[in-house]
Structure 1
C-alpha cells in the first residue's frame, strides 16, 4: 500500500468507524451499503484468506465470524491497534501492505476501500505477484472506488466540489482511482478472469478468478 498515505491513515483511525457507519455527510454515499459490501466479500471468501488493508478490522471480523482462517496486513499502527482489539485473537493482523505479507498459499485475497492507494503501475505489479499466491480457481475479491471512465472520475470530483464536499474532492484528486477497463486489462494480462458489480455511486466489487 502506498506508504505516502500512512500519516493520513493515522489521522483517520479514530473516526473511521463513524464514517463507514454513515455519520459523515461527505462520505455517506461512498459508504452506502457498507455492511452489504462487507458481507458479500466475506461470502465470496473461501479457504485460507489474506486481507490487505483491513483498517479497523470490520471485514476481518466478518470473515472470521464465518469460521475461516484470515490473515490481515495493515500498514497503519493506529488502525492495526484498533483491529487487533476488535478481533480479540480471532484473526492474525500484521504490519504489511499489498506487497509485504506473510508467505504462504492462499485461496482468496480480499480488500475493501484500499486498492486505490496504489498507482496503476503498482496495481499491475501487485496483481502479477498474486498469481504466485493462488492455485487455479483461487480468487481476488476487492471492493473499491473505481470508475467506468476517466471522465466519470472527473465528474465525481466536480460533483463533490459543487456540494461543498472539499475533503472528498481532495481525496478523489490525491489518491489513485483507476478505471474498470484498465483494471480488467491488468487482471486478464496476468491470467485472471474478472467481472465487476456496482455497489454504490463510488464503489465497485471486483471478483477475479485465476485460470
Structure 2
C-alpha cells in the first residue's frame, strides 16, 4: 500500500496529501456537534469507566483520540502518515497523549501495555487481518479490550 495511514483508506491513497482536508469529512473530524456527541457516547460504552491506556491505531488526525482524552484516558496514537500524526499532535496539544508515526499492523509499541486497542476504519485495508488481530490482541494487558469499528 502506498502511504496508507491505516486510518480508513484504500490502496494508493497519499494520506499525507489528504491530511489537510481529512477533518472536513463528516465522520473524520467529528466537527458536527451531534455526530461528535454520538461518538463520545459510543466511546463511553466501549472504553473503561476508569482512566486507562488507550492505543488508537490508524489514528489519522486524532479525532477519536481527542474524545478518549477528554474522557480522562491516556492515549497513544499511531498512524503511517507523518502529516496526520502532526495534525493529531496539534489537536491534542497539552493533553495526556503521544502520537507515533508507524504502521497500524505493526505498531511501534510494547506488548501488554494497553487496556484498550481502538481501531476505526483500518482492518479492512490490511492484507492479513487474522495475523494483525493476533498482534493487536498481544498489545493488551490481561482483561483488556479490543474495540474494532
- TM-score (normalizing by structure 2): 0.75
Query: Structure 2 CA distance, aligned partners of 1:12 and 1:142?
Result: 23
Residue 18 of structure 1, aligned match among 17, 21, 24: 24
SS in 1 for 2:138: coil
- On the 8 A contact 2:4/2:81 being kept in 1, the answer is no
- On the 8 A contact 1:39/1:62 being kept in 2, the answer is no
Query: Structure 2 CA distance, aligned partners of 1:4 and 1:12?
Result: 10
* Mapped pair 1:96 → 2:95: no
Higher RCO (Cα < 8 Å, 6 or more apart):
2
- TM-score (normalizing by structure 1): 0.55
Q: CA RMSD in A?
A: 2.4
- On the 8 A contact 1:41/1:141 being kept in 2, the answer is no
**Which residue of structure 2 aligns with residue 167 of structure 1?**
none
- On the 8 A contact 1:52/1:72 being kept in 2, the answer is yes
- On the 8 A contact 2:55/2:116 being kept in 1, the answer is yes
Which ranges in structure 1 are unaligned for 5 or more consecutive residues? Answer: 23-32, 144-211
Count, aligned residues: 131
SS in 2 for 1:131: helix
* Off by >6 Å, runs of 4+ in structure 1: none
Query: Structure 2 CA distance, aligned partners of 1:63 and 1:5?
Result: 23
Query: Structure 2 CA distance, aligned partners of 1:72 and 1:40?
Result: 19
**Which residue of structure 1 aligns with residue 4 of structure 2?**
5
Query: Structure 1 CA distance, aligned partners of 2:54 and 2:85?
Result: 18
**Which residue of structure 1 aligns with residue 131 of structure 2?**
125
**Which residue of structure 2 aligns with residue 188 of structure 1?**
none
Displacement, 1:95?
0.9
Which ranges in structure 2 are unaligned for 5 or more consecutive residues? Answer: 6-12, 29-33
